[in-house]
A and B are shown apart, each in its own frame.
Chain A
Amino acid sequence: MKQDLFQAPDYFLMDELLSDEHKLIRDAARDWVKRDVSPIIEEACQNAIFPKQILSGLADVGAFGPYIPTKYGGAGLDHISYGLIMQELERGDSGVRSTASVQSSLVMYPIYEYGNEEQRLKYLPKLATGEMMGCFGLTEPNHGSNPGGMTTNIKDMGDHYILNGAKMWISNSPFADVAVVWAKNDAGRIKGVIVEREMEGFTTPETHNKWSLRASATGELVFDNVKIPKENILEGKDGLGAPLGCLDSARYGIAWGAIGAAMDCYDTALRYSKERIQFGKPIAAFQLQQKKLAEMITEITKAQLLTWRLGVLKNEGRATTAQISMCKRNNVEMALNITREARQILGAMGITGDYSIMRHMMNLESVITYEGTHDIHLLITGLDITGESAFK
Chain B
Amino acid sequence: MNILVCISSVPDTTSKINFTENDSKFDENGIQFVINPYDEFGLTKAVMLKEQNGAKVTAIIVGESSVEPVIRKALAIGADQAVRINMKPLDSFSTAKEISNYVSENPFDLIIAGKESSDYNGGAVPGIIADMLNIPFVNACNGLEIEGNEVTLNREIDGGIEKIKASLPIIIGGQKGLVEESELRIPNMRGIMTARSKPLNIVEANNPMTMSKSIQFEKPAAKGECKMVSSDNIDQLVNMLQNEAKVI
Contacts and interface: CB of A to CB of B under 8 A. Distances in A.
Given A28-B186, A28-B187, A31-B186, A21 B192 contact: yes
Nearest to A30: B186
A7 B12 CA distance: 11
B72 A75 contact: no
Contacts of A25: 189, 192
Contacts of A35: 186
Interface in B49-95: 68-69, 72-73, 76
B193 interface: yes
A301 to B, nearest CB: 14
Contacts of A61: 186, 188-189
A24 B189 contact: no
B159 interface: no
A60 B30 CA distance: 29
Nearest to A76: B193
B134 interface: no
A294 to B, nearest CB: 19
Contact of B76 (A7, A24, A32, A66): A24
Nearest to A29: B186
> B32, B69, B186 — which one has the most chain A CB atoms within 10 A of its CB?
B186
B68 A75 contact: no
A323 B14 CA distance: 36
A60 B14 contact: no
Contacts of A32: 186
B69 A66 contact: no
Contacts of B196: 21
B186 A13 contact: no
Interface in A1-43: 7, 10, 13, 15, 20-21, 23-25, 27-28, 31-32, 35
Nearest to A15: B32
A70 interface: yes
Given A13-B30, A24-B76, A75 B186 contact: no
B101 to A, nearest CB: 27
Contacts of A62: 188-189, 192
B14 A70 contact: no
Interface of chain A: mostly helix, strand, loop or mixed: helix
Contacts of A60: 188-190
> A20, A28, A61 — which one has the most chain B CB atoms within 10 A of its CB?
A28
A32 B68 CA distance: 22
Nearest to B190: A60
Contacts of B69: 20, 23-24
A66 B14 CA distance: 30
Interface in B5-31: 14, 30
Contact of A20 (B30, B32, B68, B187): B68
Contacts of B72: 20-21, 24
A21 B73 CA distance: 9
Contact of A70 (B32, B187, B188, B193): B193
> B32, B68, B188, B189 — which one has the most chain A CB atoms within 10 A of its CB?
B189
Contacts of B192: 21, 24-25, 28, 62, 75
A1 B96 CA distance: 45
Nearest to A10: B30
B198 to A, nearest CB: 13
A10 B189 CA distance: 24
A91 to B, nearest CB: 15
B189 A66 contact: yes
A24 B186 contact: no
Contacts of B32: 15
B227 to A, nearest CB: 16
A267 to B, nearest CB: 11
Nearest to A128: B189
B168 to A, nearest CB: 33
Interface of B: 14, 30, 32, 68-69, 72-73, 76, 186-190, 192-193, 196
Top 8 nearest A-B pairs (CB, nearest first) are A62-B189, A60-B188, A20-B69, A31-B186, A28-B187, A75-B189, A32-B186, A28-B186
26 contacts: A10-B30, A13-B30, A20-B68, A20-B69, A20-B72, A21-B192, A21-B196, A24-B69, A24-B187, A24-B192, A25-B189, A25-B192, A27-B73, A28-B76, A28-B186, A28-B189, A28-B192, A32-B186, A60-B188, A60-B190, A61-B188, A62-B189, A62-B192, A66-B189, A75-B189, A76-B193
Given A24-B76, A28-B187, A62-B189, 10 more contacts: A15-B32, A20-B68, A20-B72, A24-B69, A24-B192, A27-B73, A60-B188, A60-B190, A70-B193, A75-B192
